[in-house]
Amino acid sequence: MDDAKMTDIYDAQETLSDLRWQYWQQEVVFSWRWWLLLTASLVMIGVWLKLARKNEKPLLLLYALITLLIAVTLDVVGAELLLWDYPYMVLPWGARLFSADLGLGIILSLLYQYFRSWSGFAAASTCAAAVFAFVLEPLLIWLNIYNAYAWEHYYSFPCYIALACGLKAFTDYAARRGGNQLAGRG
């Protein structure tokens, strides 16, 4: 193969972008899977707004948004490396499976709210990781929303736990450093 040039990358990206747009228009938008993902996103936001304690929302929002940022980044990298991909997405570009990433952030932030001790949080996060990795991922594969090419569910399990616990440590630190305002105690 000849040396790749930036123009080659641009041309390939332009072709890929056009293909994604055409595929999304013809196969995805307004399909039942698209409606499922959109509805799940809206329901998860509603659940978070209902269950998140008002005085703790800034801290929970911090936890959820950082989770979302990390999950979206990992999803994009994993898809670019052809570890997995998503045939059905709410939007044709950007975050690959925003609905699942959003749900992950919401669920983990609510666990953070309800399980303040490390032992309780670690146990709840481990249970959630098992559900994410061994129930939801296979379900998304069965629904043809997620394709795992070079990825196994048991790889995801420790990643979910590490993400949850790492963000608890960070959020606890931010709450201590940010004082009462961020912690919802001001």
pLDDT average, residue stretch 68-75: 94
Q: Please write down the long-range contacts of 70-77, taking CB distance under 8 Å and 24 or more positions apart.
A: 70/163, 70/167, 71/100, 71/101, 71/104, 71/105, 71/163, 72/96, 72/98, 72/101, 74/159, 75/101
Q: Report the pLDDT value the prediction gives residue 186, as an integer from 0 to 100.
A: 42
Q: Report the pLDDT value the prediction gives residue 1, as an integer from 0 to 100.
A: 58
The pLDDT confidence band at residue 124, using thresholds 50, 70 and 90, is very high
